Chain A
Amino acid sequence: MPRPIVWAVAAAACVVLAFLLVPLFVSPNARQTGPEGLAGDAAPVFALRDDRGAPVSLQEYRGRILVMNLWASWCPPCRAEMPDLQRLYERYSDRGVAIVGVNEGESPERARAFADSLRIRFPIWIDGAQRYGRTYAALGLPTTVILDRRGFVVRGFDGALTFDQMKAAVAPLVASR
């Protein structure tokens, strides 16, 4: 058998083996788990009701930067974080930033009483079936997800944020108008 043909067959065999073996050792998707791994995804949208019973949807916030905070009244870090979210709302709401607090699994009455006790003015939505919590890969509460003006996830955070962390996450989006 001519030597060049043997070498060609050997080279082809190496290529085939590499083709077969490489997928077994390389993960096809190296994205992180949890809310941090959602960056770049289109945000899933569900129709919910707010704490007054009015129908609401993320669609209403297209064209604005949205800070979505998942919380529950029994969660101490959520309570600690809420005043900073209110401060962010006061500072950025007239600069194209919206904030929504999505209560996970509690009744509207409980959520409203909690928000009133902390003088929260941004909208509070009620997610009784906890759909946002599981779809946004929450690993705990609070979880914060920031969406850009097109409705894509820019960043996700597990755990409470300080005001400076919130500002650092939102300011570049505001500047990139």
Chain B
Amino acid sequence: MTAFVAASLLVAVAVLVEIVLPGRALYHAGWYNVALAALVAVAVAGGRRAGRGGTRRARAAILATLAGTAVVGAAGIVNGLLAPDNQTIVGAPGQRVRVESLGTLAFPLSAASADGDAHVTLERPLHFPVSVGARSRDVGSFILRAIDRSVVAVEARDARGNRLTITQPTGSAFLSPVLLMQQRQTIAGMDLPYDSFDVPAARRVVKAVLFSAAQSALFVRGGAQIGEPSVLFAVDDENERPLPRAIGLSAGGRPVAAGGLILRGVVETFPAVEAFAVPNALATALGTLVLLGGLAGLLTRDDRAYVPQDDASLRELDAFGR
């Protein structure tokens, strides 16, 4: 009986922990899920043994406990083995990003909303839209949380000051002047985010490397003031051949001339969404309730089964050493 109860409770705790502390790689590890399945098997075997020779009420309580354990265990194992790994979903301002098995994430148009906190909206068929902010939101089989990332809003002009269209043929949004800076490059031992964009009207391809305020203060000379992030632009022709005098630094959002263009990079923060697959909340909650109900039924069965009714009952109990 003890092993059965302990295994059932351990299954519930192991699965509930996945919801309370989401995002750990451990939950998708094979051994963790094998252990979870083994605990369910121990509970089932222990429950069958405990149910033999018991009253009808005791058997029903054990059955409820096992059913709850099986549901919670299945929710945990399905999540651990079949659900996607943790992911960070990035999108350009105003972009709608479709995520398999989750829905469509609509990113805000600008970095900050009226309350100062930019929210991404999750849209799913037959569901109300869910606003995802810095606080974790449970949306069934996923926990979502918005995190701030640094992005760079770029502007390109020709030598006469006319604004030029910016495109990102390899970016997440073709017609976006906001670079999401998802690639990394090491320069002088610093791991730096970078991105690239095209200026089709000028037949230029531009690479932009982001230096944080601290990195700018340490490394960059020529205009960067302490406390200002900066963007290094390297301009190539349309065949990605380097051009003369085509490297420039835009510090603090100030324009810089490079490769026949006047470029400006403004560093902003913009939300991305972290998505952690978790055991289905509804199945876990129902399974846990059934499990606890079964255990409560077992406990009350104990209380009532051994209430002495008369002297004969007491003598019978004494015969069992109680």
Please give the residue numbers on chain A whose beta carbons come within 8 Å of chain B beta carbons, in ascending order: 1, 5, 9, 12-13, 16-17, 19-21, 23-24, 26-29, 31, 33, 44, 46, 70, 72-75, 104-107, 109-110, 128-131, 133-135, 137-141
Contact B174 A12 (CB under 8 A): no
Of the candidates A23, A104, A133, which one forms a contact with B141 in the assembled complex, judged by CB atoms under 8 Å apart? Answer: A23
Contact A130 B67 (CB under 8 A): no
Residue of A nearest to B177 (CB): A130
> Given A29-B98, A33-B98, A74-B165, A141–B67 Cβ distance below 8 Å?
no
| Chain B residues near A70 (CB-CB < 8 A) | 175
| Chain B residues near A130 (CB-CB < 8 A) | 165-166, 175-177
Contact A17 B94 (CB under 8 A): no
Of the candidates B59, B78, B109, which one forms a contact with A1 in the assembled complex, judged by CB atoms under 8 Å apart? Answer: B59
Tell me the residues in window 35-61 of chain B with beta carbons closer than 8 Å to chain A beta carbons: 51, 59
Of the candidates B75, B161, B177, B280, which one forms a contact with A105 in the assembled complex, judged by CB atoms under 8 Å apart? Answer: B177
Can you sample 8 A-B contacts with CB below 8 Å? A16-B70, A19-B283, A20-B78, A23-B280, A105-B175, A106-B163, A133-B173, A134-B176
Contact B98 A24 (CB under 8 A): no
| Chain A residues near B94 (CB-CB < 8 A) | 44, 131, 134-135
Identify the interface centre among A5, A44, A72, A134: most chain B CB within 10 Å of its CB. Answer: A134
| Chain A residues near B96 (CB-CB < 8 A) | 137
- Docked CA distance A16–B162 (Å): 62
| Chain B residues near A137 (CB-CB < 8 A) | 95-96, 173
A1 to chain B, nearest CB (A): 6
Q: Cβ of B263 < 8 Å from any Cβ of A?
A: no
Of the candidates A29, A72, A140, which one forms a contact with B103 in the assembled complex, judged by CB atoms under 8 Å apart? Answer: A29
Contact A1 B166 (CB under 8 A): no
- Docked CA distance A130–B94 (Å): 10
Contact A12 B67 (CB under 8 A): yes
| Chain A residues near B298 (CB-CB < 8 A) | none
Question: Known pairs A29-B124, A72-B201, A75-B200. 17 more at Cβ < 8 A?
Answer: A1-B51, A1-B59, A13-B71, A17-B78, A20-B78, A20-B283, A26-B101, A44-B109, A74-B200, A74-B201, A128-B163, A130-B177, A131-B93, A133-B175, A134-B176, A134-B178, A138-B175
Q: Cβ of B74 < 8 Å from any Cβ of A?
A: yes
Smallest CB-CB A-B distances: 4 pairs: A133-B175, A105-B165, A74-B201, A135-B94
| Chain B residues near A110 (CB-CB < 8 A) | 162
Contact B125 A29 (CB under 8 A): yes
| Chain A residues near B71 (CB-CB < 8 A) | 13, 16
Please give the residue numbers on chain B whose beta carbons come within 8 Å of chain A beta carbons, in ascending order: 51, 59, 63, 66-67, 70-71, 74-75, 78, 82-83, 92-96, 98, 100-104, 109, 123-125, 140-141, 161-166, 173-178, 200-201, 280, 283, 287
Residue of A nearest to B153 (CB): A129
- Docked CA distance A61–B92 (Å): 27
Contact A28 B175 (CB under 8 A): no
| Chain A residues near B67 (CB-CB < 8 A) | 9, 12-13
| Chain A residues near B283 (CB-CB < 8 A) | 16, 19-20
- Docked CA distance A46–B110 (Å): 12
Contact B78 A24 (CB under 8 A): yes
- Docked CA distance A51–B82 (Å): 54
B202 to chain A, nearest CB (A): 9
Identify the interface centre among A16, A70, A140: most chain B CB within 10 Å of its CB. Answer: A16
Contact A129 B200 (CB under 8 A): no
- Docked CA distance A17–B27 (Å): 19
Contact B201 A73 (CB under 8 A): yes
- Docked CA distance A113–B197 (Å): 26
Of the candidates A9, A104, A109, A128, which one forms a contact with B175 in the assembled complex, judged by CB atoms under 8 Å apart? Answer: A104
| Chain B residues near A44 (CB-CB < 8 A) | 94, 109
> Given A1-B59, A16-B74, A134–B100 Cβ distance below 8 Å?
no
| Chain B residues near A27 (CB-CB < 8 A) | 100-101
B275 to chain A, nearest CB (A): 13
- Docked CA distance A31–B67 (Å): 38
B50 to chain A, nearest CB (A): 12
| Chain B residues near A5 (CB-CB < 8 A) | 63
| Chain A residues near B200 (CB-CB < 8 A) | 72, 74-75
